[in-house]
């Protein structure tokens, strides 16, 4: 379910990424998190919360509700896609699945973009998900040649 845009809220979350991802792209994880929190605070009076990547199975959507989330900042995290489902604007700071649905400039953190095409975005995202069985049957190629239903 895609929830309506949330235009109120008290907090901004800066979401971490995995240390492994940081190693792959040569970005020090903790330095990036600290610097991004600092930069976000330069542009808002809202509460800024850093949330490192958790591996305990905790629900990021419950975190958004508990913290009265107004916006989410991150590099390349599926948690931004979850925020879009919950109607929370995103600030993707690197190319990722959510980058077409948010702003990448933190000076607009208090004036986020609320794109009206989330249904189409989620449909496109879903079209890119294939099981091994579907891949084995060649369904992605059929989809490409035929087009979406």
* Tens of pLDDT, residues 2-16: 999 999 988 999 998
Average pLDDT, stretch 129-146?
A: 76
pLDDT for 57 = 61
105-127 pLDDT tens trace: 999 999 999 999 999 988 888 77
With contact defined as beta carbons under 8 Å apart, do 91 and 112 qualify?
yes
- Sequence-distant (6+) residues with CB within 8 A of 72 are 12, 13, 15, 64, 79, 80, 83, 88, 89, 90, 91
pLDDT for 52 = 74
145 has a pLDDT exceeding 70: no
64-81 pLDDT tens trace: 777 789 999 998 777 888
């Amino acid at each position: 379910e895609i929830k309506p845009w949330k235009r109120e809220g008290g907090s901004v979350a800066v979401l971490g990424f995995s240390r492994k991802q940081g190693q792959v792209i040569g970005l020090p994880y903790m330095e990036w998190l600290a610097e991004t929190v600092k930069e976000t605070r330069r542009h808002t009076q809202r509460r800024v919360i850093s949330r490192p990547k958790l591996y305990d199975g905790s629900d990021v959507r419950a975190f958004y509700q508990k913290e009265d989330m107004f916006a989410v900042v991150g590099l390349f995290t599926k948690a931004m896609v979850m925020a879009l489902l919950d109607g929370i604007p995103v600030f993707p700071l690197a190319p990722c699945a959510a980058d077409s649905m948010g702003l990448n400039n933190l000076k607009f953190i208090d004036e986020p973009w609320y794109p009206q095409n989330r249904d189409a975005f989620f449909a496109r995202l879903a079209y890119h998900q294939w099981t091994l069985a579907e891949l084995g049957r060649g369904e992605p190629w059929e989809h490409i040649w035929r087009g979406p239903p």
